[in-house]
Structure 1
């Protein structure tokens, strides 16, 4: 049980990086980008093939980041300059990336069991610490993943607070206002999508090295996982500022993986039920805020008690046609 929870937290941290990218496209830019399902595999595929050919795994992660940014840039160009519907431009890029990813990998699956990865580089530290602390391998993985996720979060926070980052946020909120100040919303959309998919591809590279393989089908449903993480984080954690909101997104990703791990331990559920569980989690996260809001409205005072006529100057309620209504 403990091992399953630790594994869920580790995977949740990786998905937290992807959720930050989904948050940027869906929440900040208000752009339904389905490129995510393809760019996640692009990051995993490119990092894996580079590792197989002897490239440093840390360099492979950076290459995956750049590849994801390129995919997002193309999606943005298709929409901004090609005038293609946002949803359709993402679908087209996702379909194209399927073939591109196969070209990169050369085959549907790349195993990394006997290759140099981030975790094999950390093996000497793990062996030293394990002599003192049992189970130190998981502690080091959590520590390294935590540092990387924290760094990615702080970079995104910094980016969104810069002048160009504020322009990206304004483009998502009110593109008409940005254009009224002679701003080119097309460039901000392209930039936002590039950063978003760069984060997603970087998460794919981390997941490939963490899981020990890259597979052509590992990106299926990643957009739903990212949305689930964003919605759970926004629903369960109060956000009063940008840095707290991005932290809530990461926490939502970790909590999502923990829920999946616990649900799969139920005897009547199987591994193939993960997508069903994900759909149910998203539905609950969407419905609960609306349900709470509905209950608050029903508990409010009725209009007949909120609005009542004031006594006239003669002292009788409604005795004069000049009686007024006052909101109590």
Structure 2
């Protein structure tokens, strides 16, 4: 794989590192199966692209995209905690609605940013090539986002949010408003995903209505791969694992599609994704089996197993 292809994989991997952080917050911290990300990712891209084309400063357009994504997450949580709509169904309803909302925002299925300013063009310095500039800018954004998340979840509010996802009954007994924190958690999660969408369209030079398809799968794959290669109980290490998982996922995809001897093509992307996720899910189970077969492991008598 060439240097340009490797830097491209790193660039997309860092963008989806933000998606992985958002998915981790909803699925692991809040314990909320949220499919809204399939709509909030293109929502962030649509808002950023439409505002940049309208003459907005790219940084202001990106900030507006984050707010739009947070509102989408807020709506999903509100449907669940206020109207008592099932978690999965609430997120599906918002995801479906966002498809029409994104079309309304863009006014057409796609918006090009060929000659428009982006956050990357505004941060251009010296003669640094674009294929080096984008990964460096994205790395800085991901590091800042990760550090802020780590600091937030070390605070009193962050610990209360973690308790909300871990044991909501106990959290309510301690006087924690689990409904309010669920809403805040999903807003934060989808705000991160929308930020990724806004950076994605500025990196790729345009927004498309279908660019959010499979975002949740990519996010979950990154989280699973990260937790597999870097298992830890510390939140700081786990958030790092999510970012690393997203980067490795994109490198695996790039390697598979650039391996001519395998014969894979661009239309095989979803197949490669499914295989990678399946392998990532199998690794932890294989580790447990191997640990049980170690010489020092004690065998449990059959009678005891039956009693259990």
Q: CA deviation at 1:66?
A: 0.4
2:149 to 137, 153, 156: 156
Residue 67 of structure 2 corresponds to 66
In the TM superposition, 1:198-213 aligns within 5 A as 198-213=191-206
Residue 129 of structure 1 corresponds to 127
Residue 244 of structure 2 corresponds to 251
Please, which runs of 5 or more residues in structure 2 have no aligned partner? none
Please, which runs of 5 or more residues in structure 1 have no aligned partner? 131-135, 308-328
Q: Does 1:116 align with 2:117?
A: yes
C-alpha contact (below 8 Å) 2:134/2:203 kept by paired residues: no
User: What is the CA–CA distance in structure 2 between the aligned matches of 1:217 and 1:20, rounded to whole Å?
Assistant: 22
Residue 50 of structure 1 corresponds to 51
Structure (1 or 2) with the larger CA radius of gyration = 1
Moved more, 150-159 or 169-178: 150-159
Q: Alpha-carbon deviations, 1:87-136, whole Å to 9, x = none?
A: 0000000001001011000000001111111222234x1xx234xxxxx4
Q: Alpha-carbon deviations, 1:232-258, whole Å to 9, x = none?
A: 110001324211111111011000000
Task: Tell me the C-alpha RMSD between the 2 structures.
Answer: 1.5
How many residues are aligned here?
Answer: 298
Q: Alpha-carbon deviations, 1:140-178, whole Å to 9, x = none?
A: 222211111111111111111121111110011000001
C-alpha contact (below 8 Å) 2:73/2:190 kept by paired residues: yes
User: What is the CA–CA distance in structure 1 between the aligned matches of 2:27 and 2:252, rounded to whole Å?
Assistant: 23
TM (normalized to structure 2)? Answer: 0.94
Residue 171 of structure 1 corresponds to 164
User: What is the CA–CA distance in structure 1 between the aligned matches of 2:67 and 2:151, rounded to whole Å?
Assistant: 19
User: What is the CA–CA distance in structure 2 between the aligned matches of 1:147 and 1:290, rounded to whole Å?
Assistant: 35
Residue 295 of structure 1 corresponds to 290
TM (normalized to structure 1)? Answer: 0.88
Q: Alpha-carbon deviations, 1:268-309, whole Å to 9, x = none?
A: 1111111111111111111111011012223333346xx9xx
Secondary structure of the structure 2 residue equivalent to 1:214? strand
Residue 272 of structure 2 corresponds to 277
Residue 256 of structure 2 corresponds to 263
Residue 324 of structure 1 corresponds to none
Residue 89 of structure 1 corresponds to 90
2:221 to 225, 228, 240: 228
User: What is the CA–CA distance in structure 1 between the aligned matches of 2:213 and 2:134, rounded to whole Å?
Assistant: 25
